[in-house]
């Protein structure tokens, strides 16, 4: 009786194993629990346990509260005008005082024009903002994400021209991993460092050529 039961259990196990495809055996342990990017859950856990995720969010909120994170543009243009230059100069001054941080710059347009053209226009606006920041002494390597959302994320939903939608947004995206303060885990010291607004220096606006030949768009 015991021999028969044991044989049945062995047979069932072989059936289950036979039903598994080679991909299951050749993949990393836990890959079947991942959502498309093996290693991402572990990386997220490391960021949470080390405090980096919370510190990044806190610094992103502080940046948005202390300086204008959004820069607006004229219709069908990526030119940095006087108002944009003033905002970017304040961004650059803040960024210069926090060398441990990395930043992302996102480009947007209004809804006038084709999706493809507006995605290109949004990218040119992001590039113009990045070039201005670099001209103010920010290392290009700290501006790692350069993304265009084109017309896909309007602040004001309208098919007409809308200046508030024609913008770039600068955000804190994380830490410079090889910076000494980061290597020593001094994230809290970075958060509580004072931003000395009086340290701003006169800036010369960097004009970026904006209007492009082709279909007018937002």
DSSP H or E segment with residue 187 = helix 187-191
pTM of this prediction exceeds 0.75: no
The per-residue DSSP string of 74-126 comes to -TT-----HHHHHHHHHHHHHHHT-TTEEEEEEEE--SSS-HHHHHHHHHHHH
Banded pLDDT at 102 (limits 50, 70, 90) = very high
% of residues, the chain, pLDDT over 70? 67
> Are the CB atoms for 122 and 109 separated by under 8 Å?
yes
Whether the predicted pLDDT of 56 surpasses 70: yes
Is a pLDDT exceeding 80 seen at residue 15? no
Residue 11 has pLDDT above 80, yes or no: no
Residue 53 confidence (pLDDT):
76
- What is the pLDDT confidence band of residue 3, given thresholds at 50, 70 and 90? low
Q: Give the residue from 176, 116, 177 showing the smallest Cα distance to 152.
A: 116
Distance, CA of 32 to CA of 45 (rounded, Å): 18
Nearest to 148 by CA among 164, 127, 130, 162: 127
User: Under CATH, domain 69-195 is a member of which superfamily?
Assistant: OmpA-like domain (3.30.1330.60)
- Average pLDDT for the chain: 79
pLDDT tens track for 134-173: 999 999 999 977 889 999 999 998 899 999 999 999 999 9
User: Is the pLDDT reported for residue 84 higher than 80?
Assistant: yes
Strands of 70-72's sheet, edge to edge? 70-72, 167-175, 101-108, 145-150
């Amino acid at each position: 009786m015991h021999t028969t039961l044991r044989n049945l259990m062995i047979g069932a196990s072989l059936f289950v194993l036979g039903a598994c495809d080679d991909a299951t055996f050749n993949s990393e342990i836990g890959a079947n629990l991942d959502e498309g990017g093996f290693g991402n859950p572990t990386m997220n856990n490391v960021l949470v346990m080390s405090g980096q995720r919370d510190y990044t969010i806190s610094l992103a909120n502080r940046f948005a509260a202390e300086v204008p994170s959004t820069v607006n543009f004229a219709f069908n243009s990526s030119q940095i005008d006087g108002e944009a230059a003033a905002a970017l100069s304040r961004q650059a001054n803040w960024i210069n005082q926090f060398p441990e941080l990395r930043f992302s710059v996102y480009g947007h347009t209004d809804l006038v024009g084709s999706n493809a053209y507006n995605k290109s226009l949004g990218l040119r606006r992001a590039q113009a903002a990045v070039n201005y920041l670099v001209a103010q002494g920010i290392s290009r390597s700290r501006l790692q994400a350069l993304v265009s959302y084109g017309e896909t994320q309007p602040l004001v939903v309208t098919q007409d021209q809308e200046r508030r939608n024609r913008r770039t947004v600068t955000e804190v995206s994380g830490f410079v991993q090889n910076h000494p303060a980061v290597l020593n885990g001094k994230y809290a010291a970075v958060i509580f460092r004072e931003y000395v607004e009086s340290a701003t220096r006169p800036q010369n606006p960097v004009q970026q050529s904006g209007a492009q030949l082709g279909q007018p768009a937002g």
